[in-house]
Copies of this chain bind each other. A is one copy, B any other.
Amino acid sequence: MTVRQPDSALSADAARPSRREQILRAAAQLFAERGSRAVGVDDVGAAVGVTGPAIYRHFASKDAMLAEMLEGISQRLLAGARERVAAAGLDPAAQLRALVTFQVDFALDNPALITVQDRDLGSLPTDDAAAVRRLQRRYVEVWVDVLARLRPEEGTDASRARAHAVFGLVNSTPHSAGRLPREQMAALLAAMAEAAATA
Interface residues of A (CB under 8 A from B): 33-35, 37-38, 118-120, 122-123, 157-158, 160-162, 164-172, 175-176, 179-180, 184-185, 188-189, 191-199
Per assembly, the copies of the chain total 2
Quick one: closest B residue to A118, CB to CB? B175
Identify A123's interface contact among B38, B169, B170, CB under 8 A.
B38
Are B180 and A175 in touch, CB under 8 angstroms? no
The one of B123, B168, B176 in contact with A35, judged by C-beta atoms closer than 8 angstroms, is B123
Is the pair A165, B189 in contact by a Cβ cutoff of 8 Å?
yes
**Given A35-B122, A37-B38: A165 in contact with B161 (beta carbons within 8 A):** no
Shortest A127–chain B CB gap in Å is 17
Contact (Cβ within 8 A) B169 A166: yes
Q: Cβ of B184 and Cβ of A165 under 8 Å apart? A: no
Q: List 15 A-B contacts (CB under 8 A).
A: A37-B38, A118-B175, A157-B179, A158-B180, A160-B179, A161-B185, A162-B192, A165-B172, A165-B176, A168-B170, A168-B175, A191-B199, A192-B197, A195-B195, A195-B196
In the bound complex, CA of A175 to CA of B120 (Å):
14
Q: Which residues of B contact A194 (CB under 8 A)?
A: 199
Q: Note all chain B residues with C-beta closer than 8 A to A172.
A: 164-165, 167-169
Chain B residues positioned under 8 Å from A195 (CB to CB): 195-196, 198-199
